[in-house]
Amino acid sequence: MGPDSFDPLLMTGGSRFLRACLKKPVDRPPVWFLRQAGRYMAEYREVRKHHTLVEICKRPEIAAEVTITAAEKLGVDAAIIFADLLLPLEPMGLDFEFVAGEGPMVHHPLRTVESIEKLRTDRAGQLEYVAAAIEKVAGHFGDQLGIIGFCGAPFTLASYMIEGGSSRNYIFTKQMMYAEPYAWQKLLDKLVTVLVAFCKQQVDAGADVIQIFDSWVGSLSVEDYRDYVLPVTKRLVRAVQEMGVPVIYFGVDTASLLPAMRETGADVIGLDWRTPLDEGWRSMDYACAVQGNLDPITLFAPQPILETRVKQVLAQADGRPGHIFNLGHGIVPGTPVENVQAVVKMVKAFSRPSGLLISKDFVAGEVSNG
């Protein structure tokens, strides 16, 4: 069979997800959720009674169990490994903790060139616990589900390291970016070194796809993104692709940045819900696959409204190959689990079984357009 033909009867969640990442036709769009394992789920809250977040991440058997439980409970096509964006800070020499109600806190935020010079890039091996968890999840699911490894993007991680935690205006981050070009570049370079090693561990352990979270990149103007962030992000994306896996690149509040984000060469761009999916995709000339983009708070809406919004996202994707159904950002605590499960059922029920036909037309159209 050629790359664009497939047997729908043989399609697993894993093959459906991977094919969609590569813009190949599928029987229906794959579906998974950002933060699908988290506090909205009773099983996760139960595990959290006995372990801190970082403990769960560092114990592969628990991280794998949390990952598997969430994916199975929801009936999704892909499982994202349970871990956290900030884990690489520790082997680089920056201690942090999660403070209840306040989010992450970095104890000694980076404000000087000297503190950046001191960061270590030779201890990514300490992060092997994430790969160990991936190995367990991959062993459990085989090809049945797509296994997603992930890391933070250089800008978003740098923002936590410089600000010391979450931020509204990113003043310290942007100050360093503008006024300390050497320090800024040094920090991003060090991050890429560690992140490439970290992603390699995850891919070797069985991750099918790597998602790069640039959650807070939407705080940048297009010009700043291009001048200070795009080149280093492109390097990371390329390096991961050279490991043989597709890359999903995700950020929030990115409407105006999408064409520039597309220039990273990522296979899939994650869209937040503020940009209508079709507009966002069109702004990138349909050159990549897209993931998204239901507003996560729609999961609190009555069923008929939820249904309308799910149908609208599917209609905007219009059966084009390369749509992965997801939210525009993570599931928040308090979300009714049954509504998340209902969305999975809706995607399965409402997406056109003629996706193949539509996809063929689309593929044919692409060919005839040269």
Active site residues: 35, 39, 48, 84, 160
Residue 31 burial (CB < 10 Å; 0-12/13-18/19+)?
Answer: buried
Of these, 31, 41, 68, 86, which contacts ligand CP3 (CB under 6 A)?
86
Of these, 12, 235, 330, 339, which contacts ligand CP3 (CB under 6 A)?
330
Provide, rounded to whole angstroms, the least separation between the CB of residue 335 and ligand CP3.
12
Residue span 5-34 as binding mask against ligand CP3, x where in contact by CB under 6 A, dash where not: -----------------------------x
Q: How far apart are CA 88 and CA 352, in angstroms?
A: 41
Of these, 15, 36, 201, 359, which contacts ligand CP3 (CB under 6 A)?
36
CA separation, residue 241 to residues 143, 208, 267, 335, 363 (Å): 20, 11, 9, 34, 24
Nearer to ligand CP3, 80 or 288 (CB): 80
Q: How far apart are CA 245 and CA 243, in angstroms?
A: 6
Q: How far apart are CA 165 and CA 185, in angstroms?
A: 20
Q: Is 53 in the site for ligand CP3 (CB under 6 A)?
A: yes
Q: How far apart are CA 258 and CA 275, in angstroms?
A: 10
Q: How far apart are CA 251 and CA 156, in angstroms?
A: 9
Q: How far apart are CA 14 and CA 144, in angstroms?
A: 5
Binding to ligand CP3 in span 154-173, by CB under 6 A: 166
For the range 309-314, what are the long-range contacts, defined as Cβ-Cβ under 8 Å and sequence gap of 24 or more? 310/343, 310/346, 310/347, 310/350, 311/346, 311/350, 313/277, 314/29, 314/347, 314/350, 314/351
Provide, rounded to whole angstroms, the least separation between the CB of residue 10 and ligand CP3.
28
Q: How far apart are CA 156 and CA 150, in angstroms?
A: 13
Q: Is 38 in the site for ligand CP3 (CB under 6 A)?
A: yes
Q: Is 109 in the site for ligand CP3 (CB under 6 A)?
A: no
Of these, 43, 97, 104, 239, which contacts ligand CP3 (CB under 6 A)?
104
Of these, 43, 84, 180, 224, which contacts ligand CP3 (CB under 6 A)?
84
Nearer to ligand CP3, 173 or 215 (CB): 215
Binding to ligand CP3 in span 244-273, by CB under 6 A: none
- Which residues would be at the binding site for ligand CP3 (CB under 6 A)? 34-39, 48, 53, 80, 82-86, 98, 103-104, 150, 166, 213, 215, 330
